[in-house]
Structure 1
Amino acid sequence: MGDLLIRNIPDAMRQSLDERAERAGRSLSEEVTAILGDALQKPPQNNAAGTLSALDALREIMMPHSEEEAALFAEIMEEIEAKRKSDFGRPLEDFE
């Protein structure tokens, strides 16, 4: 197992952790490990306002939700790529 060093813990937080560990009959290290383990088992929560982060919102919009959507998305992307490749070498418009 690895070690983890956490610096600059406020005194009040350290005291709360010590008290919590004592109540649970564990060492400080065991208590913090238990707290971290519990936190990692819970699903991530949205922002306080109940909204998704920008990355999560884009992921929700852009990621296909079914195999049918995934196939349609792949087809559209192939069409876009083909169109993009067909535009190479075209003459530039005269802007004068």
Structure 2
Amino acid sequence: MSNLLVRDIPESLKQDLSNVARETGRSMSDEVKDMIRQGIAAHRAEKSGVHAKNAFEELRELFAPSDEESEHFAEIMNDIENGRKKDHVRSFSFDE
């Protein structure tokens, strides 16, 4: 592996890197390498016009219901709620 020397880093930037590394439990070196990887990936995606999705976006796309399914689910929930409201106003007798 090779080394890379970056000169004239402002103290505030170095402190920010140190804080992030401490929060993630990694060394500053590992944190900077990861940030460089992410930056390169974002740069390539921007150049190619492809939006890089994060994990949430990927999972949401996999598990999110279609519009038709969402509409069907909303109808079911409305039926349940209407039934609950009707049951709520029904008189009750302990003799039943």
For the aligned pair, the TM-score class normalised by the smaller chain equals 0.3 to 0.5
Question: As a proportion of its length, which structure holds more helix?
Answer: 2
> Structure with the greater relative contact order (CA < 8 A, sep ≥ 6): 1 or 2?
2
What's the TM-score once normalised by structure 1's chain length? 0.44
